[in-house]
Amino acid sequence: MTTAEQLALLGGVPAIEQPLPHEVWPPPADEAELSELARQRNTDISIKGNSGPIGRLEADFLAFLNDGARFAVTFNSGTSALLAAYFALGVREGVDVVGPALTYHAALSPVFALRGDVVLADIDPDTRGLDPKALQAALTDRTKVITVVHQWGHPCDMDAILRIAERHGLRVLEDCSHAHGSRYKGRPVGTFGDAAVFSLQANKAVYAGEGGILVTSDPQVHDRATLLGHYRDRSRDTVLDEDLRAHWVTGFGLKLRMSPFNAIVARHALAAFPARKEARHRCLRHFGEQLGDVPYLEPVHVADHVDMGAWYGYKPLYRPEALGGVPRSVLIEALRAEGMEVGAPSGPRLSTLPLYARPENPLFPGVPKKGIAPETGSHAEHVEQHALSLPTFTDWPGDRTLIGQYAEAFRKIGRHREALVRYAADPSR
């Protein structure tokens, strides 16, 4: 530290030299991917069954899960796959789904399109996923499905959640959209529940652009989810139950299938995933070590029995009491001035969104719905208001210098705590 050092916010030299963006995702296509896309253009641009790149992606995805599920069905988005999963698990009017209070809304929003209702339960501050004790307390006599989201890549406490599900005869849906490649006690997430969905949207670790994949070992779930989103060939060829298969011409009225181009992109992303995951782990392990001596950060907690898979951003918690009570927004402003790519995570608590908060279902006025009051003092609120969203560095050792500069920017702000407190207190800034 030189005597001349000053916060970049106050006119000093930024700690981070590399211009934004720091997280570049998804990565560009290689020649093999581009030529396969070009070939597909002149072969079949609308696959009605599950042949070609659609079937190959589904088979590769089951192998990726160590064949821990029997069936994989692609959809045009993770949200569509979730809609199909909820339908297949029996969500309808009069049915409650219990899910986490803080997550990406699409994990639960499709429930309302099926006339079901959502009950939110608090999260566990360590996993940032559904807290089993809060789940137990949130069960109603209408609960039929528990949705777990392996939030930001960290698997939920599956032993406890599956025990509750078994005791009460409930179905479990895993939303693995943040958790491609994550493992709980050695077993891949997506193989614990009655069904699991992985979004393959562009921001996700395995990306199609737009797309989603549903996996299950339950033939009834497979058949019903397929019929909801894939009328004609796919239902005729793959629905197992003869009585259900009678609907193959119409399905259950919706067409939610993936395009072959998206399947090709996803298959290449899946093939590239293991090396990218390894690089992310190296980057983020190093980052976590570097941040260990920043007193106003609580580094991301990773339980010993889990593998964080792809990660999904690096999201430590801010401890304002260790930085003179400076608001998170001012900290973010100061970090951005230092050249950092940082923000507050984008998804608010679901109870703050009108679809959840209001006591009527806007799709079906008159269908009973409880409406959710905003919870205060919850872990969900604490994480929502204190998390920082940092890049998921992916290039090892290429990102090493940048990671070092991020850590240095955090330390620099700690050294200038008094100046930042004065800045935050100045109403004229």
For the chain, the maximum distance between any two Cα atoms, rounded to a whole number of angstroms, is 80
Q: Looking at 175-183, 217-225, 298-306, 355-363, which segment touches ligand PLP (CB under 6 A)?
A: 175-183
Segment interacting with ligand PLP (CB under 6 A) among 29-37, 73-81, 229-237, 420-428: 73-81
CB of 212 to ligand PLP, least distance (A): 5
CB of 206 to ligand PLP, least distance (A): 11
Q: Which is nearer to ligand PLP, 84 or 335 (CB)?
A: 84
CB of 310 to ligand PLP, least distance (A): 11
Q: Is 79 in the site for ligand PLP (CB under 6 A)?
A: yes
- Residue 190 interacts with ligand PLP (CB under 6 A): yes or no: no
Rounded to whole angstroms, the Cα distance separating 235 from 252 reads 10
What's the chain look like in SS3?
Answer: CCCCCCCHHHCCCCCCCCCCCCCCCCCCCCHHHHHHHHHHHCCCCCCCCCCHHHHHHHHHHHHHCCCCCCEEEEECCHHHHHHHHHHHCCCCCCCEEEEECCCCHHHCCHHHHCCCEEEEECECCCCCCECHHHHHHHCCCCEEEEEEECHHHCCCCHHHHHHHHHHHCCEEEEECCCCCCCEECCEECCCCCCEEEEECECCCCCCCECCEEEEECCHHHHHHHHHHHCCCHHHHHHCCCHHHHCCCCCCCCCCCCCCHHHHHHHHHHHHHHHHHHHHHHHHHHHHHHHHHHCCCEECCCCCCCEECCCCCCECCEECHHHHCCCCHHHHHHHHHHCCCCCECCCCCCHHHCHHHHCCCCCCCCCCCCCCCCCCCCCHHHHHHHHECEECCCCCCCCCHHHHHHHHHHHHHHHHCHHHHHHHHHCCCC
> In terms of CB distance, is 175 or 399 closer to ligand PLP?
175
| Nearest residue (CB) to ligand PLP, 290 versus 351 | 351
Q: Which stretch binds ligand PLP (CB under 6 A): 103-111, 166-174, 338-346, 373-381?
A: 103-111
- Tell whether residue 212 is a contact of ligand PLP (CB under 6 A): yes
For ligand PLP (CB under 6 A), the number of binding residues is 14
Distance CA 227, CA 313 (A): 35
Query: Of 8-67, which residues contact ligand PLP (CB under 6 A)?
Result: none
Shortest separation between residue 87's beta carbon and ligand PLP, angstroms: 16
Is 177 a binding residue for ligand PLP by CB under 6 A? The answer is yes
- Asked whether position 78 contacts ligand PLP by CB under 6 A, the answer is yes
Asked if 226 touches ligand PLP (CB under 6 A), the answer is no
- Applying CB under 6 A, which part among 139-147, 174-182, 215-223, 402-410 lies near ligand PLP? 174-182
| Least separation in angstroms between CB 176 and ligand PLP | 8
Q: How far is the CB of 286 from ligand PLP (least distance, A)?
A: 25
Work out whether 104 is an interface residue with ligand PLP (CB under 6 A): yes
Q: Give residues with Cβ within 8 angstroms of 143, minimum separation 6.
A: 95, 96, 97, 98, 119, 168, 170
The answer to whether 122 touches 255, Cβ cutoff 8 Å, is no
Residue 191 interacts with ligand PLP (CB under 6 A): yes or no: no
Comparison of 389 and 405: residue with beta carbon closer to ligand PLP: 389
Q: Which is nearer to ligand PLP, 104 or 112 (CB)?
A: 104
Decide whether 266 or 424 has the Cβ nearer to ligand PLP.
266
Structure tokens at 343: 């923000």
For position 103 contacting ligand PLP by CB under 6 A, the verdict is yes
Among 96, 124, 175, 218, binds ligand PLP (CB under 6 A): 175
Residues 130-149, interacting with ligand PLP (CB under 6 A)? 149
257 interacts with ligand PLP by CB under 6 A: no
Q: How far is the CB of 421 from ligand PLP (least distance, A)?
A: 36
Contact present, 361 and 367 (Cβ < 8 Å): yes
Q: Applying CB under 6 A, does 106 fall inside the site for ligand PLP? A: yes
Interface residue list for ligand PLP (CB under 6 A): 77-79, 103-104, 106-107, 149, 175, 177-178, 199, 201, 212
